[in-house]
Amino acid sequence: MKLCRYLNSYNELRLGLVHDDETVADIGSAEHGRLASLLESDNLGARLKELSNQTLMAAPLTSVRLLAPIEKQEVWAAGVTYLRSKTARMEESDFSARAYDKVYEADRPELFFKSLPEKVVASGEAVGIREDAKWNVPEPELALIINSKGRIVGYTVGNDMSSRDIEGENLLYLPQAKVYDRSCSLGPWINVGATEAEARTWMIKLAIERGGQSVFSGETSVIQMKRKLSELADWLYRSQTFPNGAVLLTGTGLVPGDDFTLQANDKIRIEISGIGVLENHVVIV
Ligand code: DO4
Ligand code: MG
């Protein structure tokens, strides 16, 4: 099932279930933390079915505005969970290269704070590249929707926008390479009901267009990730409570070649086979 947050034609904040990627069936208001409380349901799939039986209205997806599928959750991110991320980062840095090697092998994963919920951008909105960075890339990532009890209750598509020159200059600059305006995008909706085993079979595709021409395309699969999804969620919740739940980006397995950097107006398309497509254009912030 695909659960979305959207604005209807009266500009009301609603929750909906997306059918065939074409229509959205309204399942009630999204005001007052309703998404978070739904995500706490012991059997979310059954609860959504119940709500869908009471649906009164359905609208074409093209007639509504999808919002990022997040309410009050902090967004965190895991890093160096795929071999490709480790090698690209070792190449871009000099004295800190060994840190990536060590964290790839270690029990404890790299986890970092990525975004406040209100700063997350939705599909269709602009993502940013920093005006003081010269080498910028999107990072297409599977994002876990985790409830307050630490249970993975859904999945969405994420983009962990990153400045490679800033991170490469000094690993201590990581927060500046990763956290700035419009650096995190999530959407288009939440896949509810898939198991971890299913999620691991999904393909992740990245396509970047400039002036109508393809300038990068690549694909990988979640199966290439070194760690279990539940392992990452478990580490995030150690000695830390998330009363509103959390969203956890699980790391990138796709990094364009070293000669590639994003430019303003580039169009980024990230598709995860079990979820859908997250699309953003680039602005300088
Ligand atoms: O180590 C820095 C960040 C890694 C990351 O964001 C990733 O592997 O996706
Ligand atoms: Mg990343």
Closest alpha carbon to 248 in 184, 194, 167, 180? 184
Q: Is 251 in the pocket of ligand 1 (CB under 6 A)?
A: yes
Kindly give the residue spans of alpha helices, DSSP state H, lying in 26-137: 34-39, 44-53, 83-92, 97-105
The residues, any chain, with a CB within 8 Å of residue 72's CB and separated by 6 or more, are: 33, 36, 117, 244
Amino acid at 3: L
Expressed in angstroms and rounded, the spacing between residue 263 Cα and the centre of ligand 1 is: 21
Q: Is 160 in the pocket of ligand 1 (CB under 6 A)?
A: yes
Expressed in angstroms and rounded, the spacing between residue 189 Cα and the centre of ligand 1 is: 23
* CA–CA dist 40, 229 (Å, integer): 19
Choosing from 75, 87, 89 the residue with most ligand 1 atoms within 8 A of its CB, the one to mutate for a pocket test is 89
Q: Is 89 in the pocket of ligand 1 (CB under 6 A)?
A: yes
Expressed in angstroms and rounded, the spacing between residue 256 Cα and the centre of ligand 1 is: 14
Strands (E), the chain: 2-7, 13-19, 23-29, 58-60, 65-67, 74-79, 110-115, 126-129, 136-137, 140-146, 152-160, 162-163, 184-191, 203-210, 213-221, 246-249, 267-272, 276-284
Q: How close are the terminal C-alpha atoms of the chain, in Å? A: 35
Expressed in angstroms and rounded, the spacing between residue 75 Cα and the centre of ligand 1 is: 14
Q: Is 159 in the pocket of ligand 1 (CB under 6 A)?
A: no
Q: How many CB atoms lie within 10 A of CB 256?
A: 18
Q: Is 80 in the pocket of ligand 1 (CB under 6 A)?
A: yes
Two tokens, residue 250: 């699980």
Question: Which of the four CATH numbers 3.90.850.10, 3.40.50.2000, 3.40.50.360, 3.40.50.720 does domain 74-284 have?
Answer: 3.90.850.10
Q: Is 182 in the pocket of ligand 1 (CB under 6 A)?
A: no
Residue 56 burial by Cβ neighbours in a 10 Å radius (0-12, 13-18, 19+): exposed
pTM of the model: 0.97
Q: Is 85 in the pocket of ligand 1 (CB under 6 A)?
A: yes
Q: Is 79 in the pocket of ligand 1 (CB under 6 A)?
A: yes
pLDDT at 42: 86
Query: Closest residue (by CA) to atom 2 of ligand 1?
Result: 79
Quick one: which ligand is closest to 86's CA?
A: 1
Q: Is 280 in the pocket of ligand 1 (CB under 6 A)?
A: no
Per-position pLDDT tens, the chain of length 285: 999 999 999 999 999 999 999 999 999 999 988 999 999 998 999 999 999 888 778 999 999 999 999 999 999 999 999 999 999 999 888 888 999 999 999 999 999 999 999 999 999 999 999 999 999 999 999 999 999 999 999 999 999 999 999 999 999 999 999 999 999 999 999 999 999 999 999 999 999 999 999 999 999 999 999 999 999 999 999 999 999 999 999 999 999 999 999 999 999 999 999 999 999 999 999
Closest alpha carbon to 242 in 97, 78, 36? 36
Choosing from 84, 101, 103, 162 the residue with most ligand 1 atoms within 8 A of its CB, the one to mutate for a pocket test is 162
pLDDT at 241: 98
Query: Closest residue (by CA) to atom 4 of ligand 1?
Result: 79
Kindly give the residue spans of alpha helices, DSSP state H, lying in 155-220: 164-169, 174-178, 196-199
CATH 3.90.850.10 residue ranges for the chain: 74-284
